[in-house]
Amino acid sequence: MSDASASDDRIRVAVLGAAGRMGTTVCRAVLAADDMELVAAIDPPHEGERLDDFGVPGTGLTIEMLSPSMKKRADPQVAVDFTHVEAARGNLRWCGMNRVHAVVGTTGLTGSDLTDLGALFDGERANAIVAPNFAIGAVLMMHLAAIAAPWFESAEIIELHHDNKRDAPSGTAMLTAQRMAQSSTEWNPDPTETHTLEGARGGDGPAGIRIHSVRLQGLVAHQEVLLGTTGQSLTIRHDSYDRTSFMPGVLLAIREVGQRRGLTLGLDSLLGF
């Protein structure tokens, strides 16, 4: 397993999904970090194109596929995956088998995927950090929602994203509901008896917490957790206005993944919660 913690060496980072919205933002963040080196830009649909042409100038990197020759030349210590869930499954298998630590932001991974990743990233071959939301404010929102949950009888989550998001509900909304359900099992039943419009009450999430997904042009990533009890309600809201909001969390994960043995879910433990 590579040691991504060496303080005198820059961490060698490959970005998977390098031509995408998140991937280009990660490339720029890695380039701006003194302790990291961008060694490979992976994005098979754009193989052979120059990373410069995707708004990441000056690297001289050509976009490529995961391959033995890339591994030999670039020798990445950490791979950061912001792709699509079907692609991420294959990419992460490659990382595990090739002893490359993984930082995973791709959403839509199932419980069974996470079980597989736990076996693959066993702390011997390599480690992985998987987080559905790398924005520190969103991690705090989930943490605060779990603290608040036992004091309220009803809760609903509204997640709002840009109109190109392919999965619903968001991984953040699911994880928030799971954390709240673990924190309290005493929730009022849904009072709805008739649905004039199917789906009007949103998805039936963990512990019956309803999750509503909004997709709207102009948005980035936003979420409200609504909690109600007698005569009062509490709203916890987080807004990511720009994809740079995720970068401090991604860089933290790149720096930490070499020391966090096995599979780490979420950023909570990295932030000391």
Report, as residue numbers or ranges, the catalytic residues: 161, 165
Which of the ranges 68-76, 83-91, 222-230, 261-269 carries the binding residues for ligand NAD, by CB under 6 A?
83-91
Which of the ranges 130-138, 151-159, 193-201, 203-211 carries the binding residues for ligand NAD, by CB under 6 A?
130-138
Complex with ligand NAD: residue 46 or 260, whichever CB lies closer: 46
Q: Is 45 in the site for ligand NAD (CB under 6 A)?
A: yes
Q: How far is the CB of 259 from ligand NAD (least distance, A)?
A: 21
State the Cα–Cα distance between residues 78 and 197, nearest whole angstrom.
47
Q: Is 118 in the site for ligand NAD (CB under 6 A)?
A: no
Burial class (CB in 10 A: 0-12, 13-18, 19+), 201: middle
- Give the CA radius of gyration of the chain: 20
How many residues of this chain interact with ligand NAD, rule: CB under 6 A?
Answer: 26
Query: Would you say 240 and 246 are in contact if contact means Cβ atoms under 8 Å apart?
Result: yes
Query: CB-based contacts of 73: which residues, under 8 Å, 6+ apart?
Result: none
Q: Is 22 in the site for ligand NAD (CB under 6 A)?
A: yes
Complex with ligand NAD: residue 123 or 137, whichever CB lies closer: 137
**229 phi and psi, to 5 degrees?**
-150, -175
Which among 103, 85, 96 has a CA at the least distance from the CA of 26? 103
Q: How far is the CB of 51 from ligand NAD (least distance, A)?
A: 11
Task: Choose which of 5, 9, 21, 216 interacts with ligand NAD (CB under 6 A).
Answer: 21
Which among 46, 111, 161 has a CA at the least distance from the CA of 263? 111
**192 phi and psi, to 5 degrees?**
-65, 130
User: Which residue sits closest to ligand NAD, CB atoms considered?
Assistant: 20
**182 phi and psi, to 5 degrees?**
-70, -30
Q: Is 44 in the site for ligand NAD (CB under 6 A)?
A: yes
Q: Is 43 in the site for ligand NAD (CB under 6 A)?
A: yes
Q: Is 42 in the site for ligand NAD (CB under 6 A)?
A: yes
Binding site for ligand NAD (CB under 6 A): 16-17, 19-23, 42-46, 82-84, 87, 91, 105-108, 131-134, 246
